[in-house]
Structure 1
Amino acid sequence: MTSILTNTSAMSALETLRNINTTLSNTQDRVSSGYKVAQAKDNVAYWSISTTMNSDNKALNAASDALGVGAAKVDTAYAAMESAISAVNEIKAKLVTASEKSTDKGQIQLEIGKLQEQLSAIAQGASFSGENWMVSTNTEASVVDGFIREADGTVKVTTATFNVETYALFATIANNVGSGGILSAVMTIQLTSITTQGQIDTFMDTVETAISRMTDSAAALGALQIRVDLQDKYSAKLSDAIEAGVSRLVDADMEEESAKLSAIQTQQQLAIQSLSIANSSSQNLMTLFRQ
């Protein structure tokens, strides 16, 4: 039955066109934005996961930036420790020279005194961002090295620690002279013209003890450098993995969307033509009433 009041064919064609236009609009949005899940309404589960992981990834990147600051602190401390070991080795060499009876111990002391001043300068200059691990009485220092999310959803920042109290060259520096710490006894070495060989041997033992402790300190700093370097590489890989995982959830497949766009545009043209045909059927009724 054909009705002049209700055109069911046109209604059906119009509904089809509306659906096609909606699909076309969604596809165009995905093509223009690059996301298949841009809002919560697109896919609640994937949107929620991606939002959380993107937030965690930003925190991880911030931790990596902080790790860079920490690495600079460790490198600064290690450079100072290397220089201090070199200076103390020079003091050791001067003491060996002083063991020769014909040497002028007063002149040798002038050189040792300058090396002691250099040790204080080395430690005092080993500061980065206002923090000095070579002059401190703090129990330990820490370096931010990561950000993790526990299984229960709680988050925390992880750190690597360095025992400053044990490994610092000096506890304090006053009037450009260091005291306490690993080099406390080295700073008391004083040669005079009447210094005996027994006293020189005691000074040598003092220097050897200091070198041994500084070697341990340098080893601890070296181990921390390795930890920081490994964590930096791991953080970069982890960030890339998180980004790739989120991409699989929310990024649009541009090849697929392009193919869909072409197909839907063709469907739209056919739907428009179908609607036009359906609308023209009522006009065809007029031929029934022509004489």
Structure 2
Amino acid sequence: MTSILTNTAAMAALQTLRSIDSSLEDTQARVSSGLRVATASDNAAYWSIATTMRSDNAALSSVQDALGLGGAKVDTAYAAMESVVDVVEEIKSKLVAATEAGVDKEKIQEEIDQLQDQLKSISESASFSGENWLQADISGGSVTKTVVGSFVRDSSGMVSVKTVDYTLDSSTVLFDEGADATTGYGAGILDSEALFTGTDGITVTISVNGIDSDVAVKAYSTDELMMSAGMTFATSGSQTVATDGTDTYLQVDSEKWVKLTTTAPTTGQAIAYNDGTTDYYVDTANTPTSVTNANVGFSVYDLDITDLGTIASNMGGSFTEDDALEFMIQYVDQQLEAVISATSALGSISTRIDLQEEFISSLTDSIDSGVGRLVDADMNEESTRLSALQTQQQLAIQSLSIANSNSENILSLFRQ
């Protein structure tokens, strides 16, 4: 049936055109935006995942910036620590040189003074963005410095920021800004006061019934004996003795003497010395004095080899200036190892930050790629679809035109 009121063919053609126009509009939107899923209405699940991952990626970008800042702080401290290692090694070398007989200790101390000033200069200069990891107030306990390391979302959806921690304490800080105002000593590696633990004894070998054994006895220094009134020194063969008329001492080292007795402290003990009329034995009952954590009055930063006598006195017992200098070398070497250890810790953190920066850069790229797989449009496919829809649109318009012209054909039936 042909009707001029209801054009079924035109309606069908119009519906087809509307469908093609809608598809064409969607395709054009994908081509122009490059996105297959641009809004939640396109694909709610994919849009939700992509939006969350983009947010996490933005957070990772901030983490990468924070890592750069933290890395700069660590690198500044590390570079300064490396310089400090060189300076402390030089101080140690100067101390070793001071053990040589006849050297001018005052001249050497002048060089050490300059090196000590350099230590302070390096430490004060090792600041980045207002933070200095080489000197801090640790009088109240350790201080923790943190560097943002990563942004993490766990399986339950909870997010957290992970950090790389570095503890400032007596094993990592060079100078304690909370140093005691009276003594000037702090808890840092370079400004902590040296504590001496030891004895003023010396080990000698005695023979009892032909069997040798090592015994620790109290040792005396040459300076100590010379301070005794009426002390005289005499050499008999290869042996040198000193006596004040009451006590007699035998030299067993260049600067060490042991006390003798005329009564054998052990039955069968061999004679240690004979003055031509009297036999003398090592007085094994004269035991050494033990010293524990004696404050000797110097640190790496303020040690002075021109005042070894005071240091020897602070060590307690019968210690010589040579003993004081030897202990000073040992202490500086000990603190040098502490500086090296702290430098190693900073180097490890620096390497970890570099690795984390590389990982976050790769992770960011991976997330971008993953989001793209979910929401990006395939431009080859979309361009092909766009061409096809444009052709379909033209055909639909042509079809609608033909359907509308059918009604006009009815007029020919009424013409004469």
- Measured against the shorter chain, the TM-score band is over 0.9
Q: Does 1:204 align with 2:367?
A: no
Note if contact 1:144-1:157 (Cα within 8 Å) is conserved in structure 2.
yes
2:259 counterpart of 1:255: no
Comparing 227-236 with 178-187, greater Cα deviation is found at: 178-187
- What are the within-5 Å matches in structure 2 for residues 108-257 of structure 1? 108-136=108-136, 137=138, 138-165=142-169, 166-172=171-177, 179-184=186-191, 185-192=299-306, 196-257=321-382
The separation in 2 between residues aligned to 1:221 and 1:156, in whole angstroms, is 25
- Give the counterpart letter for 2:300 in structure 1: V
The residue that corresponds to 2:11 in the other structure is 11
CA RMSD of aligned residues (A): 1.6
Aligned mates of 1:23, 1:178 — CA distance in 2: 81
1:180, distance to aligned residue in structure 2 (A): 3.2
- In 1, Cα distance between equivalents of 2:72 and 2:106: 40
**Cα deviation per residue 1:9-52 (whole Å; 9 max; x = unaligned)?**
00110010011011111111111111111111111111111111
Gap change, CA 1:168 and 1:67, over 3 Å in 2: same
Q: Distance in 2 between matches of 1:194 and 1:240?
A: 64
TM-score, normalising length: structure 1: 0.96
**Structure 1: unaligned runs, 5 residues or longer:** none
State the Cα distance separating 1:101 from its structure 2 match: 2.0
Aligned residues: 290
Report the Cα offset of residue 268 of structure 1: 0.3
SS of 2:301's equivalent in the other structure is helix
CA distance in 2, matches of 1:234, 1:194: 55
Deviations 1:156-188 (A, max 9, x none): 11001112113111111889x984311122113
Offset, 1:189:
1.0
Distance 1:107 1:284 in 2: 124
Shift of 1:194: 6.0
Letter in structure 2 aligned against 1:112: I
| Secondary structure class of the residue paired with 2:377 | coil
Alpha-carbon distance in structure 2 between the residues aligned to 1:178 and 1:18: 88
Q: Which has the bigger relative contact order, CA under 8 A and spacing at least 6?
A: 1
Counterpart-to-counterpart distance in 1, 2:55 and 2:18: 38
* Letter of the 2:351 counterpart: I
Task: Could you tell me which runs of 5 or more consecutive residues in structure 2 were left unpaired when the two chains were aligned.
Answer: 192-298, 310-320
2:77/2:134 contact within 8 Å kept: yes
Kindly report structure 1 stretches of 4+ aligned residues shifted beyond 3 Å: 177-180
Displacement of 1:219: 1.2
Is residue 308–residue 324 contact of structure 2 (8 Å, CA) maintained in 1? no
Distance 2:76 2:369 in 1: 35
* 1:274 equivalent among 378, 385, 399: 399
Match of 2:74 in 1: 74
Q: Give SS of 1:101's match.
A: coil
